[in-house]
Chain A
Amino acid sequence: MDPILSVQELSVEYATRRGALRAARDVSFDVESGETVAIIGESGSGKTTLAVALVRLLPRNARVSAGAIRFTRDGITRDVLRLDDEELREFRWRECALVFQSALNAFNPVIDIWSQFLDTARAHGMKDTKAVRDRSFELLDLVHLDPERVLRAYPHELSGGMRQRVLIALGLLLHPALLILDEPTTALDILTQRAIIDLLRELRTKLGFSMLFISHDLSLAAELADRVVTMYAGRAVERAGVEDLFYRPRHPYSIGLLRAVPRVTGALGSVASIPGSPPDLISPPPGCPYHPRCPLAIDACLAAVPPLLPVDMPRHDAACIRWQEVARTIGTAERHVAEKLA
């Protein structure tokens, strides 16, 4: 079966005063039906750009300079980059809904939650107010909120966790097959964050949608993802199943990220920051963008941008010519990298 979403060599650039800023470069990955894929990477690596590009909501100074986005539902494949305005409007909520990073900015602050549901529904051709009301009740129930109370409230009257739930409910309004979430739990307190994670897991089981979420927080990927894509400087540098990514990473940047985030329980292991900082995306370094920070870099790393190479695990590739070197140190055991390196 075709993947529900297939992103192929997608490149996005922003026009800036200093020149073209290449925020996403040759990014390819698939989301299979029913699967949850996480995109991880430090801030500025191009995650939000990618998410926004997928639903074609990029700001004016941005353009997709290459690549394709294919979306398949019920055996019909569509090229998202070629949809006209009308098709796009349909696509955005019915096929694929984006839940934004900042749950407060995502709302219109001067209208109540009911009006937000109604506006969204009307914009997509749901004219029957009663039906919209029923659907809103159903969804708010599903995200464990009190529909009566919440629909009457204004965004600022709700807590951060409640707003995030409302946004998730709103995203599900038109039964999308794919939910894209940008940093869905960032800035929430621990217990609220836990509740949102559990909620997403529950909804996914109940409703069977696929999920693509984006986070700088590795623990969210560890919780929810089936597969993980690591991004660095606009590029997908590693793609792997979640356990492979955490226990058998093959790209030095993935290892750097994993060691930079200590676990709370369990052994501390070898914890360390990544030296240096990410490159300037207007004039990136030659060759592998990670080489200036990479402990394994050799001259050959400067010669060319490494393609994604299949590694010693199935359905797993890494954009690193030294992945075999990495594999020798990390091995294949089911243990966290920080412990293996201790």
Chain B
Amino acid sequence: MTNGSPLIRLVHVTREFKTPAGVIKAVDDVSLDLDRGEAICLVGESGCGKTTTGRLLAGLLRPTSGELLFEGNDVWRSRGADQVRFRRAVQLVHQDPYASLNPVRTVEQVLAAPLRHHRKAQTAKQARAAARSLLQRVGLTPPDDFLHKFPHQLSGGQRQRVSIARALTVDPRVIVADEAVSMVDVSIRITLLDLLLGLRDEFGVSIVLITHDLAVARYFGRAGRIAVMYLGRVVELSATQELIDDPAHPYATALIGAIPEADPDLTRSKQRLPLKSADVPSLLRLPPGCSFHPRCPRAEAGLCDVLVPALTPIGGTRSVACHVAVRERTALAAATGPFRFDLPWVDIDKSEGSAG
């Protein structure tokens, strides 16, 4: 959880898009706090709003409602020096380094341009020296082997390292890495994740890693938190290990049970939570109440199909947006002594109140 004031915050942020078929809420009432040096993973299936959330955090998309705060200042209301400071402080690393690196620029040119632009280097010589040390930092050694290469002469992993080096040219405080390892080979993902974690340890950079891959999230987020998204909303936000060991939201439980594991005995004996339906509702026609309720084996009529559950703290580092989980977990926490088998359920009115 946060201590003091968080470095960057999304506060009840919603982002709508107009599509030919109507307006959709790609991100709906999302609040996230990120401390200095914190690592957080956004996970969820495709289309759940991870990229949009990342772009909102990086200030590249304006919220339809809600606020983006950086060091307590509302980014979209600040101007001048504050704006510039924010733009430098938050850097986005894309999924596909091939698309984000100019094919006709050498690695040196890619790095020198922002260095000169942001006055980190006055002369070409200084820029080259700074580029060398950045390449060293991202593990492209010896740097002189890479300065004159073009993107197509690099492997996928090397290109992603160049993208990270470019993000580092402005001494960022936050890096938003959107599927940054999804396109590189499995055999080298871990070193890229370690590189990002190293930046956090060394410079206190906060990192938001967006991934659809729970194994990546588990490794990267082992010292941080995971936010699970579903249809534009954060449905659970917990410390990684707790989320993995004991997911509270039925959707998180279903995902963790469903993911195949690279271990035959483990994967063939996993507990599963079967869903009522495989169909993901369209953002254009979201079901009323909890948008997961039509698929949820634990949904209760009259509650889950009526009221939208808010992300609610359930103790420790955890928050969950589920009426049933909130009720049960709060009741569990309230029950004292080892002999209480008949747990006194919090009555529905009360749980609605705390969830609304």
* Contacts known (A189-B45, A273-B190); A264 close to B261, Cβ less than 8 A: yes
Query: Nearest chain-A residue to B46 (Cβ)?
Result: A189
Which segment, of A96-104, A219-227, A300-308, faces chain B? A219-227
The answer to whether the Cβ of B25 comes within 8 Å of any Cβ in the partner chain is no
* Contacts known (A272-B190, A273-B191); A190 close to B219, Cβ less than 8 A: no
Which segment, of A120-128, A193-201, A315-323, faces chain B? A193-201
Which segment, of B94-102, B210-218, B314-322, faces chain A? B210-218
Query: Nearest chain-A residue to B272 (Cβ)?
Result: A194
A47: chain B residues at CB < 8 Å are none
Tell me, in angstroms, the Cα distance from A10 to B286 when the chains sit together.
53
Main secondary structure of the interface of B (DSSP, over half): helix
Query: Nearest chain-A residue to B295 (Cβ)?
Result: A191
Which segment, of A52-60, A62-70, A255-263, faces chain B? A255-263
The smallest C-beta distance from B185 to any residue of chain A, in angstroms, reads: 5
Tell me, in angstroms, the Cα distance from A149 to B305 when the chains sit together.
28
The answer to whether the Cβ of A246 comes within 8 Å of any Cβ in the partner chain is yes
In A252-305, the 8 Å CB interface with B consists of 256-258, 260-266, 268, 271-275, 277
Task: Give the A-B pair count, Cβ closer than 8 A.
Answer: 123
* Contacts known (A257-B186, A273-B187, A273-B188); A242 close to B46, Cβ less than 8 A: no
* Contacts known (A189-B46, A223-B268, A261-B215); A266 close to B186, Cβ less than 8 A: no
Interface string of B249-270 (1 = CB under 8 A from A): 0000011101111111111101
The smallest C-beta distance from A78 to any residue of chain B, in angstroms, reads: 33
State whether A190 touches B186 (Cβ < 8 A).
no
The answer to whether the Cβ of A129 comes within 8 Å of any Cβ in the partner chain is no
The answer to whether the Cβ of B155 comes within 8 Å of any Cβ in the partner chain is yes
The answer to whether the Cβ of A324 comes within 8 Å of any Cβ in the partner chain is no
The smallest C-beta distance from A237 to any residue of chain B, in angstroms, reads: 14
State whether A260 touches B215 (Cβ < 8 A).
no
State whether B157 touches A189 (Cβ < 8 A).
no
B245: chain A residues at CB < 8 Å are 265
State whether A263 touches B262 (Cβ < 8 A).
yes
The smallest C-beta distance from B20 to any residue of chain A, in angstroms, reads: 16
The answer to whether the Cβ of A203 comes within 8 Å of any Cβ in the partner chain is no
Tell me, in angstroms, the Cα distance from A217 to B260 when the chains sit together.
10
The answer to whether the Cβ of B189 comes within 8 Å of any Cβ in the partner chain is yes
* Contacts known (A243-B265, A264-B218); A190 close to B259, Cβ less than 8 A: yes
The answer to whether the Cβ of B75 comes within 8 Å of any Cβ in the partner chain is no
State whether B266 touches A193 (Cβ < 8 A).
no
A242: chain B residues at CB < 8 Å are 264
B189: chain A residues at CB < 8 Å are 260, 273
The answer to whether the Cβ of B88 comes within 8 Å of any Cβ in the partner chain is no
* Contacts known (A190-B212, A191-B255); A263 close to B266, Cβ less than 8 A: yes
Number of interface residues of B (CB under 8 A): 39
State whether A222 touches B215 (Cβ < 8 A).
no
The answer to whether the Cβ of B278 comes within 8 Å of any Cβ in the partner chain is yes
In B183-214, the 8 Å CB interface with A consists of 185-192, 194, 212, 214
The answer to whether the Cβ of B299 comes within 8 Å of any Cβ in the partner chain is no
State whether B256 touches A264 (Cβ < 8 A).
yes
* Contacts known (A243-B264, A265-B244, A277-B157); A191 close to B258, Cβ less than 8 A: yes
Tell me, in angstroms, the Cα distance from A268 to B157 when the chains sit together.
23
Number of interface residues of A (CB under 8 A): 41
Instruction: Name the one of B45, B155, B270 contacting A265, with C-beta atoms under 8 angstroms.
Output: B270
State whether B244 touches A264 (Cβ < 8 A).
yes
The answer to whether the Cβ of B137 comes within 8 Å of any Cβ in the partner chain is no
The smallest C-beta distance from B130 to any residue of chain A, in angstroms, reads: 27
The smallest C-beta distance from A246 to any residue of chain B, in angstroms, reads: 5
* Contacts known (A190-B45, A273-B191); A263 close to B263, Cβ less than 8 A: yes
The smallest C-beta distance from B219 to any residue of chain A, in angstroms, reads: 4
In A221-256, the 8 Å CB interface with B consists of 221-223, 242-243, 246, 256
Tell me, in angstroms, the Cα distance from A261 to B218 when the chains sit together.
11
Tell me, in angstroms, the Cα distance from A268 to B263 when the chains sit together.
12
A263: chain B residues at CB < 8 Å are 215, 218, 261-263, 266
Instruction: Name the one of B46, B187, B264 contacting A246, with C-beta atoms under 8 angstroms.
Output: B264
State whether B186 touches A261 (Cβ < 8 A).
yes
The smallest C-beta distance from A271 to any residue of chain B, in angstroms, reads: 6
Interface string of B163-187 (1 = CB under 8 A from A): 0000000000000000000000111
State whether A277 touches B255 (Cβ < 8 A).
no
State whether A222 touches B264 (Cβ < 8 A).
yes
The answer to whether the Cβ of B275 comes within 8 Å of any Cβ in the partner chain is yes
Query: Nearest chain-B residue to A218 (Cβ)?
Result: B262
* Contacts known (A223-B260, A266-B261); A260 close to B218, Cβ less than 8 A: no
The smallest C-beta distance from A203 to any residue of chain B, in angstroms, reads: 17
Tell me, in angstroms, the Cα distance from A262 to B275 when the chains sit together.
26
State whether A191 touches B45 (Cβ < 8 A).
yes
State whether A262 touches B218 (Cβ < 8 A).
yes
The answer to whether the Cβ of A205 comes within 8 Å of any Cβ in the partner chain is no
The answer to whether the Cβ of B222 comes within 8 Å of any Cβ in the partner chain is yes
Instruction: Name the one of B186, B218, B258 contacting A216, with C-beta atoms under 8 angstroms.
Output: B186
A275: chain B residues at CB < 8 Å are 191
Tell me, in angstroms, the Cα distance from A272 to B187 when the chains sit together.
8
State whether B244 touches A43 (Cβ < 8 A).
no
Instruction: Name the one of A195, A219, A223, A264 contacting B278, with C-beta atoms under 8 angstroms.
Output: A195
State whether B260 touches A220 (Cβ < 8 A).
yes
Instruction: Name the one of A219, A262, A266, A274 contacting B260, with C-beta atoms under 8 angstroms.
Output: A219
B187: chain A residues at CB < 8 Å are 42, 256-257, 260, 273-274
State whether B267 touches A260 (Cβ < 8 A).
no
Tell me, in angstroms, the Cα distance from A262 to B245 when the chains sit together.
15
The smallest C-beta distance from A315 to any residue of chain B, in angstroms, reads: 16
State whether A262 touches B219 (Cβ < 8 A).
yes
B residues within 8 Å of A by Cβ?
A: 45-46, 155, 157, 185-192, 194, 212, 214-216, 218-219, 222, 244-245, 254-256, 258-268, 270, 275, 278
Could you write out 7 A-B pairs with CB less than 8 Å apart?
A190-B214, A191-B275, A221-B262, A262-B215, A265-B266, A272-B191, A274-B188
- What 9 pairs between A and B have smallest CB-CB spacing? A219-B260, A194-B258, A189-B45, A218-B262, A273-B191, A273-B190, A274-B187, A262-B219, A222-B264
Given A197-B260, A219-B263, output 9 extra A-B contacts at Cβ < 8 Å. A42-B186, A189-B45, A190-B45, A190-B214, A223-B267, A265-B245, A268-B219, A273-B189, A274-B187
